[in-house]
Amino acid sequence: MAESRGKSPSRGPNRPSAGDRGRGHSRTTVSSAGGARRRRGRAPAETAVDLSPSRYIVKVDRETGAELPDEIEPAELLVHAHRDHHPVEIAAQFLASRLVRVTGNEALVKKGLKTLDRLGARAASTVADLSGDPADEGRVKRLLGVTARDVLFRFRETTHLTEKEVKKRVGALQKDARDRLRAQGRHPRMRVLLTGGTGFLGKEILAQAASHPHVEEVVSVVRPQAVRDRRTKKVLRVLTPRQRGAKLLKQLHITGKAARRFRFIKGDIEKPGFGISAAELAKLKKSLTHVVHCAASVSFDDTYENSFRANVLGSRNALAFSNALQSTPGSPFVAHVAIETSYIHGRRKRSIAQEDALVFPRHFYNNYYELTKAMASIETDRALIEDGLRVTQLLPSIVIGHSRTGNNRGDTKVLNAPVNAFGRAKEAMDSLGGTWPDRARGWLVGLIATTFPADRSAELNLVPVDRVATGILAALGTPEAIGARIHLATDNRIRSEEIVRVAGEELGVGVRMADPTLTRNLTLPVVKAVLTAMGEERLAGVLEKLGTIFGVYGEWGQPIHDVGNDVRILGLPIQRPDTSAAFRMLCRHNHHVQAFGRVRDGDEIARRERLWEETIDAIEFESGRQVASLRAKEFRRVLAERIELRSFVRR
């Protein structure tokens, strides 16, 4: 809750006043590798953007507690910078995962690692004493992989206000929102501006908003889309936002009166005011009640600069947009809803990631996506406390397809990627033919593609997209959510070994688990080189991406996300979706509806998903059982009785 904002230094960066923002921090540009370097010369004012992490994070001397003026490089805030460049630490991570599996006692293993660190530090000190050279202590520590460091990082304070003062401010903002909703009567009419409406989550928001009793209009900000020839990449035509919107509504099967709730306007989240025209903006200021900022970069292997521009600058622009609405005289604006991620808490080694607190993770961040989303959350804190913006933060975990059907509107990212890779590898191995060298080559490729880099004990927090969208729409009419961080996550996480078991049953493929630390640092570079030499550059790229994603989220000691505000504040059902069942339906959907990612046309996917949902409805009605409870073989049989699977048409 908001009470912890004023007291805890972890609650966000400290800026004494709005006029001091950015002072004292260097402006930086970012190289293609993601590392920051100081800008030489003075760039034009309109292009100068402060990308420095120092705006949000301070480097502190561990012994004295003094803030260090050193420039913070983005790369040093990631796990890899502190572990993956040292063979001893890689070996320690590998051995620790094995000990956790044998003993089942993670606390004991972590205690053992700390003891080894202390012994290593003592040994380094002894060597320095014997040699008479103080520098030897650092050399021995580096050699032994001792993880004790001279500096630590922490987030800047959001405010110097006391906890009581912050609580009072948030309470006043909640009251303002409550009064504005009550002024509309028992059935408030909400007019929402949505960013990211063409994305996976955005589509589900649109689908649910079409039948929401209080949503009168949704204005979706989208960019024109270039349609290119698949082979030549030549631009064939450019779809306007209105044309993109009409196509999207058709794919979502939103027609008639419901379709008139939606408007699609030209804009770009990376531009101030979203780049919306002055005439359109004037109309929106008189009508909008909410802004839902859902647009973001969800690429886990993107550069720091790209992630920063999409996630941090996009967030700043969205907050400034809502602030302008709120400060407009006579505006009906109620609140801003920021969609973040529960992984802003970074690597926490099985400790609780609390909903309300944001503490710089002791074990750093897995990637620039997590880091920049944490920065975006800090920007939201600033807007709440400094600017008095009525804002709610919703933090989904790893979003997967619909809880009952697995429908994902054609998404192929995150967990869909390994499932599709497993399925296509199985098909390739089943159809091996030709000469012995060709068969051996196909077998090797299939073997590599069915390797899952994850520790058996690793737990992933998966949440179905329908639960997340329901939470977002619930927040619109919940003034009590203002000033809170709310995890849209689950309390029934799924282990890696369960993912492998379900994938094996549903896809008929034997997936081998591999240690993620060794895979990322040793096996994957070798495999990539071998596949490239075999002419399998595309598969090499896919495996590298999978290793980037699951090489960190598949390691033991994943954070445990605190949940409860989704029920207490938003009023969502206390029984959260069955994660294992939802993953099973994801496998079935990707297999039969998307043909493991081969079906790419949006219209065709929409047609298939509608037939898929209707078929599931019929099976559940006739059997009296949930489809996810049917064994894989039984499900395939009843499905084949109703759908001709090759062409995916009703029998």
Q: Are residues 269 and 353 in the same domain?
A: yes
373's CB contacts (< 8 A; 6+ apart) are 296, 311, 340, 341, 343, 344
Least trusted range by pLDDT, from 158-162, 333-337, 591-595, 597-601: 158-162
CB atoms within 10 A of CB 631: 10
Least trusted range by pLDDT, from 290-294, 345-349, 413-417: 345-349
Q: Report how many domains make up the chain.
A: 3
Who has greater pLDDT, 160 or 394?
A: 394
For residue 157, pLDDT over 90 is answered with no
Q: Quick one: three-class SS letters along 534-576?
A: CCCHHHHHHHHHHHHHHHHHCCCCCCEECCCHHHHCCCCCCCC
Q: What is the model's pLDDT at position 30?
A: 39
Number of H helices, E strands in the chain: 23, 24
pLDDT digits (tens, 9 = 90+) for 434-486: 777 777 777 777 777 788 888 888 889 999 999 999 999 999 999 999 999 99
What single DSSP character describes residue 78? B
d(CA 612, CA 375): 40
What's the one-letter identity of residue 540? Answer: A
What CATH number corresponds to the domain at position 234? 3.40.50.720
How many percent of the chain have pLDDT more than 70? 82
Q: Are residues 435 and 312 in the same domain?
A: no
For residue 87, pLDDT over 90 is answered with no
Rounded to 10 degrees, the C-alpha dihedral 65/66/68/69 comes to 150
- The answer to whether 58 touches 14, Cβ cutoff 8 Å, is no
Mean pLDDT is highest, among 113-122, 336-345, 449-458, for 336-345
Task: Note whether residue 36 is domain-resident.
Answer: no
Q: What is the model's pLDDT at position 638?
A: 95
Phi first, then psi: give them for residue 644, nearest 5 degrees.
-80, 105
Q: Which two tokens stand for residue 21?
A: 């923002």
Q: Are residues 349 and 224 in the same domain?
A: yes
Q: Quick one: three-class SS letters along 342-409?
A: HHHHCCCCCCEECCCCCCCCCCCECCHHHHHHHHHHHHHHHHHHCCCCCEEEEEECEEECCCCCCCCC
Task: Note whether residue 117 is domain-resident.
Answer: yes
Measured N-to-C along each axis, helices 579-592 and 496-507 cross at an angle, to the nearest 10 degrees, of: 40
d(CA 517, CA 507): 26
Cα dist from 590 to 401, 544, 620, 626, whole Å: 10, 21, 20, 19
Tell me what the mean pLDDT of segment 127-134 comes to. 73
207's CB contacts (< 8 A; 6+ apart) are 252, 254, 469
Q: Are residues 640 and 608 in the same domain?
A: yes
- The answer to whether 566 touches 393, Cβ cutoff 8 Å, is no
Mean pLDDT is highest, among 33-37, 584-588, 595-599, for 584-588
Task: Note whether residue 12 is domain-resident.
Answer: no
d(CA 375, CA 369): 10
d(CA 193, CA 324): 14
In this prediction the pTM is 0.84
- The answer to whether 347 touches 365, Cβ cutoff 8 Å, is yes
- Work out whether strand 290-293 and strand 335-339 pair parallel, antiparallel, or are unpaired: parallel
For residue 425, pLDDT over 80 is answered with yes
What single DSSP character describes residue 513? E
Reported confidence tier of residue 110, pLDDT bands at 50, 70, 90: low
Dihedral sign of CA atoms 448, 454, 457, 462 in order: negative
What's the one-letter identity of residue 28? Answer: T
Q: Which two tokens stand for residue 648?
A: 């995916």
Task: Note whether residue 639 is domain-resident.
Answer: yes
Who has greater pLDDT, 266 or 145?
A: 266
Task: Note whether residue 228 is domain-resident.
Answer: yes
Who has greater pLDDT, 231 or 60?
A: 60
Tell me what the mean pLDDT of segment 378-399 comes to. 95
Q: What is the model's pLDDT at position 118?
A: 63
Mean pLDDT is highest, among 97-106, 155-164, 519-528, for 155-164
Least trusted range by pLDDT, from 67-76, 222-231, 542-551, 630-639: 542-551
Phi first, then psi: give them for residue 193, nearest 5 degrees.
-95, 130
Task: Note whether residue 76 is domain-resident.
Answer: no
pLDDT digits (tens, 9 = 90+) for 10-52: 343 333 333 333 333 334 443 333 333 333 343 344 456 788 8
What single DSSP character describes residue 509? -
Task: Note whether residue 549 is domain-resident.
Answer: yes
Q: What is the model's pLDDT at position 158?
A: 78
Q: Are residues 429 and 397 in the same domain?
A: no
Q: What is the model's pLDDT at position 89?
A: 56
d(CA 517, CA 107): 20
Q: Are residues 325 and 198 in the same domain?
A: yes
Tell me what the mean pLDDT of segment 342-352 comes to. 81
Last residue of a domain, one of 117, 144, 171: 144
Task: Note whether residue 58 is domain-resident.
Answer: no
Tell me what the mean pLDDT of segment 304-327 comes to. 95
d(CA 4, CA 483): 11
Q: Are residues 363 and 305 in the same domain?
A: yes
- The answer to whether 323 touches 389, Cβ cutoff 8 Å, is yes
Tell me what the mean pLDDT of segment 169-188 comes to. 92
Last residue of a domain, one of 144, 173, 191: 144
Alpha-helix residue ranges (DSSP H) falling in 104-227: 106-131, 135-144, 163-182, 200-209
Mean pLDDT score across all residues of the chain: 84
Q: Which two tokens stand for residue 252?
A: 């979502």
Q: Are residues 239 and 345 in the same domain?
A: yes
Reported confidence tier of residue 615, pLDDT bands at 50, 70, 90: very high
Tell me what the mean pLDDT of segment 549-568 comes to. 84
For residue 144, pLDDT over 80 is answered with no
Mean pLDDT is highest, among 104-118, 291-305, 312-326, for 312-326
Q: What is the model's pLDDT at position 438?
A: 73
Q: Are residues 382 and 272 in the same domain?
A: yes
Structural domain for 136, as ranges = 87-144
Q: What is the model's pLDDT at position 139?
A: 62
Q: Are residues 98 and 125 in the same domain?
A: yes
Q: Are residues 392 and 484 in the same domain?
A: yes
- The answer to whether 479 touches 178, Cβ cutoff 8 Å, is yes
CB atoms within 10 A of CB 531: 22
Q: Are residues 318 and 392 in the same domain?
A: yes
Tell me what the mean pLDDT of segment 145-162 comes to. 75
Q: Which two tokens stand for residue 270?
A: 């990376």
